Chain A
Amino acid sequence: DGGITQSPKYLFRKEGQNVTLSCEQNLNHDAMYWYRQDPGQGLRLIYYSQIVNDFQKGDIAEGYSVSREKKESFPLTVTSAQKNPTAFYLCASSMGEGSGNTEAFFGQGTRLTVV
């Protein structure tokens, strides 16, 4: 089945540790995104990538890093510099084409808890 896979669904980490969230898509989409969702805050864009080996910061990129070495994969690393990492993280992809003309499709999300 075509879609976006995020793993794991739940993730626990100790404070001060880096953690990487996985996102894979087999939709042959060019663009990929990472959003963070907190209660009452909606979805806030962390990073997005329009093409392999290129990515741009979103509104809340501090404390996060990404890579886009393959078209299918867009992993997100939550570093120890992120002050409040506990949140629900959503990955998405779209056809892209640099025109904003296509909707994004989402994975099931990863709920990260830092203790």
Chain B
Amino acid sequence: AQKVTQAQTEISVVEKEDVTLDCVYETRDTTYYLFWYKQPPSGELVFLIRRNSFDEQNEISGRYSWNFQKSTSSFNFTITASQVVDSAVYFCALSESRDDKIIFGKGTRLHILP
């Protein structure tokens, strides 16, 4: 069965610090897809990134970077030089190749303090 664990319930950092959000997943499928979403106070989920299981190349997009490691079943998300606008709940999600079902972790609430 598929499962996503985000062990960090809540994190607070001071603005301009770097912060890493952890995500560990479980799946029996050899082909799967991982996602990160951001949920600002407005409530709507915003898609950030998708990663395929056969592509372990890490990715950087501006201040955001993602570290995908199949050996440890982890897909961690780092924000560099955090800003107050980064304050939100961040969700990691998993989908297997067999169907379109998408399972989410419980989320990490990130507070960036000015």
Contact = CB atoms under 8 A, between A and B. Distances in A.
B45 to A, nearest CB: 4
Interface stretch (B14-22, B65-73, B74-82, B104-112): B104-112
Interface residue tally on B, bucketed by range: 20 to 34
A94 B102 contact: yes
Nearest to A35: B104
B34 to A, nearest CB: 10
A58 interface: yes
Interface residue tally on A, bucketed by range: 20 to 34
Given A94-B100, A100-B32, 18 more contacts: A31-B100, A33-B102, A35-B104, A40-B9, A42-B6, A42-B105, A43-B91, A43-B104, A48-B101, A88-B43, A90-B43, A92-B102, A96-B100, A101-B52, A101-B97, A102-B50, A103-B47, A108-B42
